[in-house]
A and B are shown apart, each in its own frame.
Chain A
Amino acid sequence: MSRPVGVIALNVFRESVRDKVLYNLVFFAIVLMGASYLIGQLTAGQDVKIIKDLGLAATSIFGLFIAVFIGIGLVSKEVERRSIYILLAKPIERYELVIGKYLGLVLTLAVNVAVMAIALYAVLAYMAWAAPPLAEAGWERPALDPAMLTAFLLTFCELAIVTAIAVFFSTFSTPILSAAFTFALFVAGRFSADLRNFNQVIESPVANGLTTGLYWILPNLSPFDVRSQVVHGQPVTAAYVALSIGYALLYIGALLVASTAVFSRRDFK
Chain B
Amino acid sequence: MGSRLRTVGAVVVAAVLLGGAAAVQAAREQRVPPPPPSEDSLYLTSGTAVRRLTVGYSALAADLYWIRAIQYYGGVKLRFQKEQPPAAQPGGAPVEAYPLLYPLLDLTTSLDPWFNIAYRFGSIFLAEPYPGGAGRPDLAVTLLEKGLAARPDKWEYMQDIGFVHYWWRHDYRAASDWFARASTVDGAPWFLKSLAATTLAEGGDRQSSRTMWEAIRASAEIDWLRNDAERRLSQLDAADWIDQVQADVNRARAAGAPTSSWADLIRAGALRGVPVDPTRTPFELDPSGTVRLSRQSPLFPLPLEPQRTMTAPQP
The chain A residues found within 8 Å of chain B, CB to CB, are: 39, 42-46, 49-50, 53-54, 57, 60-61, 137-138, 140, 186-187, 190-191, 221-222, 225, 227-228, 231-232, 234
Bound together, the chains give a CA A53 to CA B65 distance in angstroms of 13
Q: A44-B70, A44-B224 are in contact. Are A60 and B57 (CB under 8 A)?
A: yes
User: Which B74-114 residues sit within 8 Å CB-CB of chain A?
Assistant: 112, 114
CB neighbours (8 Å) of B57 from chain A are 57, 60-61
One of B215-223, B252-260, B273-281 contacting the partner: B215-223
Closest Cβ neighbor of B70 among chain A residues: A44
CB neighbours (8 Å) of A137 from chain B are 221
Q: A54-B63, A60-B57 are in contact. Are A44 and B222 (CB under 8 A)?
A: yes
The reply to whether the CB of B35 lies closer than 8 angstroms to some CB of chain A is: no
CB neighbours (8 Å) of B56 from chain A are 190, 221-222, 225
CB neighbours (8 Å) of B55 from chain A are 186-187, 190
Contact partner of B67 (CB less than 8 A), chosen from A42, A57, A61, A187, is A42
CB neighbours (8 Å) of A234 from chain B are 114
The reply to whether the CB of B271 lies closer than 8 angstroms to some CB of chain A is: no
Nearest CB on A from B108, distance (A): 11
Q: A190-B55, A222-B56, A225-B56 are in contact. Are A53 and B117 (CB under 8 A)?
A: no
Nearest CB on B from A31, distance (A): 12
CB neighbours (8 Å) of B66 from chain A are 43, 46, 50
Q: Report yes or no: A53 in contact with B222, Cβ–Cβ below 8 A.
A: no
Q: Report yes or no: A232 in contact with B223, Cβ–Cβ below 8 A.
A: no
Q: A43-B70, A45-B223, A234-B114 are in contact. Are A57 and B60 (CB under 8 A)?
A: yes
User: Which B205-226 residues sit within 8 Å CB-CB of chain A?
Assistant: 220-224
The reply to whether the CB of B294 lies closer than 8 angstroms to some CB of chain A is: no
CB neighbours (8 Å) of B302 from chain A are none
Bound together, the chains give a CA A60 to CA B59 distance in angstroms of 13
Bound together, the chains give a CA A186 to CA B56 distance in angstroms of 11
* B: interface residue count bin: 20 to 34
CB neighbours (8 Å) of A54 from chain B are 60, 63
The reply to whether the CB of B58 lies closer than 8 angstroms to some CB of chain A is: yes
Q: A42-B67, A46-B63 are in contact. Are A228 and B112 (CB under 8 A)?
A: yes
Q: Report yes or no: A138 in contact with B70, Cβ–Cβ below 8 A.
A: no
5 A-B pairs with least C-beta separation: A138-B221, A45-B222, A232-B114, A57-B60, A190-B56
The reply to whether the CB of B251 lies closer than 8 angstroms to some CB of chain A is: no
Q: Report yes or no: A228 in contact with B223, Cβ–Cβ below 8 A.
A: no
Nearest CB on A from B122, distance (A): 13
Bound together, the chains give a CA A54 to CA B56 distance in angstroms of 13
CB neighbours (8 Å) of A187 from chain B are 55
Q: A190-B56, A222-B56 are in contact. Are A140 and B70 (CB under 8 A)?
A: no
Nearest CB on A from B130, distance (A): 21
Nearest CB on A from B164, distance (A): 20
Bound together, the chains give a CA A193 to CA B220 distance in angstroms of 37
User: Which B1-19 residues sit within 8 Å CB-CB of chain A?
Assistant: none
Bound together, the chains give a CA A137 to CA B218 distance in angstroms of 10
Nearest CB on B from A55, distance (A): 10
The reply to whether the CB of B295 lies closer than 8 angstroms to some CB of chain A is: no
Nearest CB on B from A116, distance (A): 15
Nearest CB on B from A15, distance (A): 26
Closest Cβ neighbor of A231 among chain B residues: B59
